[in-house]
């Protein structure tokens, strides 16, 4: 163990006098916490619960079903990020198995690769299934801007981008929510900056500490959060200063505002989140694929009975306490998205704490 990590752990132990429940927002942090075994090294008073910050986990089933239906059309080349391809839709199928059956599904690494595909295949309809938080949304915005500028006519965007602060606001507003302090997602804050969290802290009266991903950074975030809680404080603190500034990446924010507008959107397992997603602004309408949502909500209920991922994403159910965990639901045969994604909480437990 590094001397720094050891010292931080000692400080956390000596600062903690009462039980505290913290939520780490980002799935990358959940994985890092479990990979380093930090949850086992903390004082027993500290409970970590895992937040909704796994982009593929929260992508609505409706949107995945729509992507699957599009990928089945012979003229379509469907592109998305690798992590997205194994997430099952409502009938258990995923994009990777459609690809094995002949659908043209491509893993892309940068949205601008999609532009190149559209140029190379003018006879095909290229669809980009755009998922992710404010981290990936600016690159989609750039793609939309360039596609419009070049008048590329065979490209459509199925936008499923989601926003972190609105979902936190909604989760923390629930009186049943046990979270007393928040470790905010370092990567999202590099784009959005720390200042958009001030309003959240004002409204929800909990300390929010912007936290990184290494063992030391995570311990630093936990220490600062505990210190605030022990003192009865609630403010935004930046424990990831090497990457995050108060104003964030202005250029990316301008791009986001120019291309997208916030909308109420469905998060898988959580339901409708006010202003929780992005849609293309009217100027970009020719690129947009409209969301096709189910009218009846009984299918959603059936899915939740099979996989209580919503409870996991709200921190109300520990993955290993789920009755399907590790038996009916494994990374090879996932019932829900948190078991699929390299950022999903269930996958983290399966990997590091079976």
Partner 1 sequence: MAPSHDTVLLAHGGGGRLSQQLIEELLLPAFAPADGVLHDAALLNSPGQTLAFTTDSFVVKPLFFPGGDIGRLAVFGSVNDLAMTGARPVALSLGMILEEGLAMSLLERVVHSIRAAADACGVAVITGDTKVVERGKGDGIFINTSAIGVVEHALKIHPSAVQPGDAVLVSGDLGRHGVAILAAREELGFRSTLESDLAPLHTTVNELISSGVEVHCLRDLTRGGLASASDEIARSAGCQIELEEAAIPLHSSVNGACDLLGLDPLSMANEGRMLVICPEVHAAKALEQLRHHNPAACKVGTVHSTTTSEQQQPVLLRNTLGVLRPCDVSRGELLPRIC
Residue with tokens 């939520």: 23
351 belongs to the binding site for partner 1 (CB under 8 A): yes
DSSP 284: G
Residues 6+ apart with CB under 8 A from 137: 130, 161, 256, 260, 278
Tokens of 299: 């299918």
Minimum gap (Å) between residue 333 Cβ and partner 1: 7
Considering beta carbons, is residue 66 or 341 the nearer one to partner 1? Answer: 341
Q: Which stretch binds partner 1 (CB under 8 A): 67-75, 81-89, 246-254, 256-264?
A: 81-89
Considering beta carbons, is residue 2 or 286 the nearer one to partner 1? Answer: 2
Minimum gap (Å) between residue 169 Cβ and partner 1: 21
86 belongs to the binding site for partner 1 (CB under 8 A): yes
Using an 8 Å Cβ cutoff, are 236 and 52 in contact?
Answer: no
Minimum gap (Å) between residue 201 Cβ and partner 1: 23
| Binding positions for partner 1, 11-30, rule CB under 8 A | 28
Considering beta carbons, is residue 23 or 38 the nearer one to partner 1? Answer: 38
Using an 8 Å Cβ cutoff, are 6 and 41 in contact?
Answer: no
Tokens of 61: 């089933």
Considering beta carbons, is residue 117 or 177 the nearer one to partner 1? Answer: 117
Considering beta carbons, is residue 58 or 229 the nearer one to partner 1? Answer: 58
Cα 246 to Cα 192: distance, rounded to the nearest angstrom: 9
Considering beta carbons, is residue 5 or 229 the nearer one to partner 1? Answer: 5
Rounded-to-10 torsion of CA 329, 330, 332, 337 = 70
- Out of 3, 14, 40, 151, point to the residue binding partner 1 (CB under 8 A): 40
- How far is the CA of 1 from the CAs of 7, 41, 58, 140, in angstroms? 10, 12, 34, 40
| Binding positions for partner 1, 170-229, rule CB under 8 A | 187, 215
Rg (CA), the chain: 20
- Out of 2, 17, 153, 264, point to the residue binding partner 1 (CB under 8 A): 2
Tokens of 166: 């609105």
Considering beta carbons, is residue 186 or 308 the nearer one to partner 1? Answer: 186
Q: Which stretch binds partner 1 (CB under 8 A): 101-109, 229-237, 270-278, 303-311?
A: 101-109
Residues 6+ apart with CB under 8 A from 314: 52, 171, 174, 177, 269, 270
Considering beta carbons, is residue 125 or 330 the nearer one to partner 1? Answer: 330
97 belongs to the binding site for partner 1 (CB under 8 A): yes
249 belongs to the binding site for partner 1 (CB under 8 A): no
85 belongs to the binding site for partner 1 (CB under 8 A): yes
Sign of CA dihedral 58, 60, 63, 69: positive
Count of residues that interact with partner 1, criterion CB under 8 A:
46
Q: What is the C-alpha end-to-end distance of the chain, expressed in Å?
A: 23
Tokens of 145: 């801007």
Cα 274 to Cα 256: distance, rounded to the nearest angstrom: 18
Q: Which stretch binds partner 1 (CB under 8 A): 252-260, 274-282, 293-301, 335-343?
A: 335-343
Bridge partner residues of 49 (DSSP) = 23
Considering beta carbons, is residue 94 or 228 the nearer one to partner 1? Answer: 94
Residue with tokens 């099952």: 88
Using an 8 Å Cβ cutoff, are 232 and 204 in contact?
Answer: no
Q: Which stretch binds partner 1 (CB under 8 A): 60-68, 83-91, 261-269, 301-309?
A: 83-91
| Binding positions for partner 1, 104-163, rule CB under 8 A | 107-110, 113, 131-133, 135-136
- Residues interacting with partner 1, by CB under 8 A? 1-2, 5, 28, 34-38, 40-41, 55-56, 81-86, 96-97, 100-101, 107-110, 113, 131-133, 135-136, 187, 215, 331-333, 341-343, 350-354
């Amino acid at each position: 163990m590094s001397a720094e990590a050891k010292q931080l752990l000692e400080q956390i132990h000596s600062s903690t006098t009462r039980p505290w429940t913290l939520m780490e927002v980002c799935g990358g942090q959940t994985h890092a916490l479990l990979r380093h075994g930090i949850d086992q090294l903390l004082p027993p008073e500290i409970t970590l619960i895992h937040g909704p910050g796994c982009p593929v986990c929260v992508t609505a089933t409706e949107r995945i079903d729509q992507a699957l239906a599009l990928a089945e059309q012979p003229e379509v080349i469907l592109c998305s990020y690798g992590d997205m391809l194994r997430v099952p839709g409502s009938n258990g199928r995923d994009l990777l198995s459609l690809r094995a059956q002949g659908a043209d599904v491509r893993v892309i690494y940068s949205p601008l690769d999609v532009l190149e595909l559209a140029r190379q295949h003018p006879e095909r309809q290229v669809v980009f299934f755009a998922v992710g938080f404010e981290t990936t949304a600016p690159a989609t915005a750039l793609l939309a801007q360039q596609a419009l500028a070049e008048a590329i006519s065979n490209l459509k965007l199925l936008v499923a981008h989601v926003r972190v602060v609105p979902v936190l606001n909604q989760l923390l507003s629930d009186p049943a929510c046990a979270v007393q302090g928040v470790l905010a997602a370092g990567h999202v804050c590099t784009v959005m900056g720390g200042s958009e969290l001030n309003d959240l802290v004002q409204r929800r009266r909990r300390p929010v500490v912007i936290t990184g991903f290494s063992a030391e950074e995570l311990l630093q975030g936990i220490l600062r959060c505990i210190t605030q809680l022990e003192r009865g404080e609630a403010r935004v603190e930046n424990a990831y200063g090497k990457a995050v500034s108060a104003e964030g990446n202005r250029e990316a924010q301008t791009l986001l505002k120019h291309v997208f507008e916030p909308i109420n959107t469905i998060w898988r397992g959580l339901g409708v989140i006010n202003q929780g997603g992005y849609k293309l602004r009217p100027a970009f309408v020719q690129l947009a694929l409209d969301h096709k949502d189910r009218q009846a909500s009984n299918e959603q209920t059936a899915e939740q009975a099979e996989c209580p991922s919503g409870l996991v994403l709200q921190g109300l159910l520990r993955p290993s306490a789920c009755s399907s965990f590790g038996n009916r639901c494994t990374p090879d045969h996932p019932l829900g998205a948190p078991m699929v994604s390299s950022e999903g909480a269930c996958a983290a437990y399966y990997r590091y704490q079976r």
